[in-house]
Chains A and B, each alone.
Chain A
Amino acid sequence: MLYFNLISFLLIICGTAVLGLQIPDIAASARVYPLVLMVLVVLCTLVVAAKEIAGRSNTAALDATFAKILSAPLPQQLRTLAFIAIWMAYSWALTPVGFLVSTTCAIAASLWLLRVRRVLVGIATALVFSVVLAVLFATVLYIPTPLGPLDRLLAQAIYAFQH
C-alpha cells in the first residue's frame, strides 16, 4: 500500500505540474488563484507523503472496501474490472452502434458477468428495458438518443403509431 500511495502522490504532483506548465498561457489576472491552489495541492501532497514514509499516518492501513476487493479471489477482481470495462465500452459504442443495440448488449453482458444464471431471461430483460427506455426517451422525455439502424426503425414505428 505504501508504494501505491507514494506513486499516487507522485502522480498528483505531476498532474499539478502539467497544469502548471499552462500557467504562462493564461492571462495574468486569471492565473494567481489557480497558481496558489497548485502550490497548496503540492504542499499538502508532500506533507501527506512524508507522513506515510515516516509511518505517522494515523488511520487504518487501507480503506475497508478496497481491502475487501484486494483480498478477494482473482476471478472476482477480474469480473469487477470487466464490469467497469463493459460500461465504458457501452459509452463508446452508443454513438456508432445506436441506443437499442448497445444498451441491450451492455445490460445482458453485465447481468451475465455478474452471474445471473438465467441467460435468456437476462437477454429478454435487457431487450424489453432498452425498448421501453427508447420509447420513453422519444415520446415522454424528448431526449434524442444516438441512432443506429434499429433505432431508426423504432422511430419510424413510433411516428407511424402517433400519426
Chain B
Amino acid sequence: MLEGLLTAVSPTYLLVEIVGVIVGIIFGAIPGLTATLGIALFVPVTFLMSPGAGMIMLAGIYAGAIFGGSISAVLINVPGTPASIITGWEGYALAREGKAPLALSLAALSSGVGGLFSAVALLFLTPMLSTLALTFGPPEYCALLLFSFTIVTVMLDTPLMRNLLGCFIGLLLTTIGLDPVNGAARFTFGNVDLMSGFNLIAVLVGFFCMTEAVFLAFDSLVESSSDEIISYGKGNSMGELFATLWTHAVTYLRSSTIGLFLGILPAVGPVETPFIAHTIERRFHPKDEKFGKGSVTGLIASECSISANVGGSLMPLISLGIPGSGAAAVFIGALTLHGLQPGPLLFKNEPVLIYTFFWGFIAVNLFMMFFGLFGARYFALVLKLPKRVLATFIAVFSILGSYAINNSMFDVGVMFGATALALWLRALRVPILPIVLAVILGPLFEQQVLVLFTTSAGVGEVLGRPIADGFFAISIIMVVFSAVRRLKEGRAKPA
C-alpha cells in the first residue's frame, strides 16, 4: 500500500493525474462528448505509458468528465454528459437567480466529496472483494457472469427481448476467432486476421467514438444558433461553501452511499444514479419546494451520487473483472492493451499497480475538486468550440487510435464495422450496453462454462456452492420481478 502511495504522488504520476482530470473536464463540459468517449479515445494513448499511469489517466478522464458535464448543465442548461441532467435542473435554476458561482462550486465540492468517498471505499473494500473472489471456481464465475448479464438485461428500460437480443449478438461476436479452450478456428472464413477475433479496443472505439462523431456532424449541420451562456458573475465565499459540508452532511453521506452501491451494479451507471439519489433525497426533504427548481440539497444529491458511482463501478472491475458501467468497461481495453487481465488474480499478481491506481484515484478526485472550485469558469470557454470541429477531430482520432493498436488497417475496418453495427442496432432500439458487456465478458464466460461442464460431477455439485446459489437465486428473482413489472406496465397502458 505504501509503495503504491509513493508511486501515485511521484511527479510523473501527478502530471498524468492533472492531465487526465483536465482532459476529462473538457470532454464532460462539451455537450455531445461523454466520459465513455473520452476514455475510449485515450485508451490507445495509454499504450505509451506504464499500466498504472495509463489507468490513472483514464480514471482522471472518467472522474473529470462526470464533473465537467455540470459546467454546461449549469451555464447553458444543456447537460455536458447524460449524467448531468438533474444538475441542469437544479444548477441552471440557481444560475438564473444569479448564483452560477455557487452552483458550479457546489457541483465541484459535491463531486469531490462523492468521488473521495468512493475512492476510499475502493481502497479498503476492493481487497476484501478480491480475496473473496480468489475462492471462486467455475460455478461461482458462471453464476456471477450470468448475474451480470441478467442485471443488464432486466434493469434497462428498453424491452427485455431487445436487451437479450443485444446480449446474445454480443456473445456470438466473441465466438469469431480461435476457440479459447481447444484453439479451433471458428467463423474465420479462412481470413488470418480473424483468427484473433475482433480487437476489443477497435470495437469500443467504433461503438462509442465514431458513432458520436457521426451524430455530432449531423448536429452541427442542423443547429443554427449557439446556446446562450449565463454570465458567471462574482465568486462565492469558500467559507459558505464548505459550511454546507456540515449543514448537508447527511445528504452528502446518503447520496455518496447510494452512488457507490449503484455503481457496483453493472447496469446502473452515472446516468440513472442521480435520478435515484435525487428522488430518495426528496423524500427526506418534503418541505423543500425548490427541489427540481434550484435546490441546493438536490444539486448536492445529484453530483455526489454521480461521482460516487464512478468509484463504485471500478470496484467490481478491479476485483472481479466485471465492469460496473459502460465507461468502466472501456478500462478493460486499457488493461488488455498492457497484457493484464482484470480480476482477483490481477490483485494478487500486481498489488503495487492496483494500490498505485487506488491512491491515484484519490488524488484525481482531489484535483477534480480543486480545478472545479477554482477553474470552472475557464473550462466554460470550451463551450464555444464548434461541433463541426469536434466531429472532425473525433473521427480522425478514432481512425488513428484504431490503427495504432496493431499498426493494422484491419482494426480500422473492425472499428467501422462496430460503428455500423452500433448505428444499425440503435435504429432497431437494441441498447448498446448489453452488447458491450457481452463482447467484454463473452470470452471469459465461454471459458468458465466449458470448464464447468468438463470438470463438474453434475448439477448437485454446482448447487452445493452457496455463493453460486446466491447469484443464481438473485438472477431468477430479478427476472421474475422484471417480468411482473413489465406485464403490469403493459396492462396499465391504455389500448
Residue ranges of A at the interface with B (Cβ–Cβ < 8 Å): 4-5, 8-9, 12, 16, 19, 22, 26-27, 29-31, 33-34, 37-38, 40-41, 44-45, 47-48, 51, 56-59, 62-63, 65-66, 68-69, 72, 76, 79-80, 83-84, 87-88, 90-91, 94-95, 103, 106-107, 110-111, 114-116, 133, 140-141, 143-144
Interface string of B201-231 (1 = CB under 8 A from A): 0000000001001110110111000000000
Main secondary structure, interface of B, reads helix
Chain A neighbourhood of B214, CB < 8 A: 80, 83-84
B161 at the interface (CB under 8 A from A): yes
Task: Contacts A37-B175, A63-B427, A94-B409 given; indicate if A88 touches B159 (C-beta within 8 A).
Answer: no
Instruction: Enumerate 12 A-B pairs (CB-CB under 8 Å) in ascending A order.
Output: A8-B424, A26-B179, A33-B446, A33-B450, A37-B175, A44-B161, A44-B168, A48-B161, A114-B392, A115-B388, A140-B48, A143-B407
A144–B168 Cα gap in the complex (Å)? 37
Interface string of B154-172 (1 = CB under 8 A from A): 0000110110110011011
Interface string of B187-208 (1 = CB under 8 A from A): 1010000000000000000000
Q: Is the CB of B162 within 8 A of A116?
A: no
Contact of A91 among B222, B416, B428 (CB under 8 A): B416
B234 at the interface (CB under 8 A from A): no
Closest chain A residue to B454 by CB distance? A29
Chain B neighbourhood of A114, CB < 8 A: 217, 220-221, 388, 391-392
Q: Is the CB of B426 within 8 A of A88?
A: no
Q: Is the CB of B388 within 8 A of A37?
A: no
Contact of B389 among A4, A22, A45, A116 (CB under 8 A): A116
A-B pair count, CB < 8 Å, reads: 144
Closest chain B residue to A40 by CB distance? B168
Task: Contacts A45-B165, A80-B221 given; indicate if A91 touches B396 (C-beta within 8 A).
Answer: no
Interface string of B403-425 (1 = CB under 8 A from A): 11001010011001000000010
A13–B181 Cα gap in the complex (Å)? 27
A160–B133 Cα gap in the complex (Å)? 55
The B339-353 residues at the A interface (CB cut-off 8 A) are none
Chain A neighbourhood of B392, CB < 8 A: 107, 110-111, 114
Q: Is the CB of B182 within 8 A of A29?
A: yes
Closest chain A residue to B219 by CB distance? A68
Q: Is the CB of A88 within 8 A of B168?
A: no
Q: Is the CB of B409 within 8 A of A95?
A: yes
Contact of A48 among B165, B449, B450, B493 (CB under 8 A): B165
Q: Is the CB of B428 within 8 A of A38?
A: no
A11–B233 Cα gap in the complex (Å)? 56
A9–B416 Cα gap in the complex (Å)? 21
Task: Contacts A33-B446, A143-B404 given; indicate if A41 touches B182 (C-beta within 8 A).
Answer: no
B246 to chain A, nearest CB (A): 42
Task: Contacts A26-B184, A45-B165, A83-B217 given; indicate if A111 touches B424 (C-beta within 8 A).
Answer: no
Chain B neighbourhood of A62, CB < 8 A: 427, 429
Q: Is the CB of B184 within 8 A of A27?
A: yes
Q: Is the CB of A88 within 8 A of B161?
A: no
Task: Contacts A111-B388, A114-B391 given; indicate if A59 touches B429 (C-beta within 8 A).
Answer: yes
Q: Is the CB of B222 within 8 A of A76?
A: yes
B395 at the interface (CB under 8 A from A): yes
B248 at the interface (CB under 8 A from A): no
Q: List the 9 closest pairs (A to B, CB-CB), nearest first.
A: A114-B388, A30-B179, A30-B184, A27-B184, A34-B175, A44-B165, A110-B392, A83-B217, A37-B172
Chain A neighbourhood of B181, CB < 8 A: 29-30
Residues of B in contact (CB 8 Å), total 57
A99 to chain B, nearest CB (A): 9
B300 at the interface (CB under 8 A from A): no
Q: Is the CB of A91 within 8 A of B412?
A: yes
Task: Contacts A29-B184, A91-B413 given; indicate if A72 touches B218 (C-beta within 8 A).
Answer: yes
A131–B450 Cα gap in the complex (Å)? 50
Question: Which of B179, B210, B426 is the most central at the interface, judged by chain A CB atoms within 10 Å of its CB?
Answer: B179
Closest chain B residue to A78 by CB distance? B221
Chain B neighbourhood of A9, CB < 8 A: 428
A33–B443 Cα gap in the complex (Å)? 11
Closest chain A residue to B215 by CB distance? A65
B48 to chain A, nearest CB (A): 6
B461 at the interface (CB under 8 A from A): no
Closest chain A residue to B493 by CB distance? A58
A59–B426 Cα gap in the complex (Å)? 13
Chain B neighbourhood of A103, CB < 8 A: 396
A140–B184 Cα gap in the complex (Å)? 39
B58 to chain A, nearest CB (A): 17
Question: Other than the known A16-B172, A87-B210, what 6 A-B pairs have Cβ atoms closer than 8 Å?
Answer: A26-B186, A29-B182, A33-B450, A63-B429, A76-B221, A87-B213
A70–B412 Cα gap in the complex (Å)? 27
B399 at the interface (CB under 8 A from A): yes
Contact of A22 among B162, B187, B400 (CB under 8 A): B187
Chain B neighbourhood of A79, CB < 8 A: 217, 221
A106–B213 Cα gap in the complex (Å)? 14
A108–B400 Cα gap in the complex (Å)? 16
Chain B neighbourhood of A80, CB < 8 A: 214, 217-218, 221
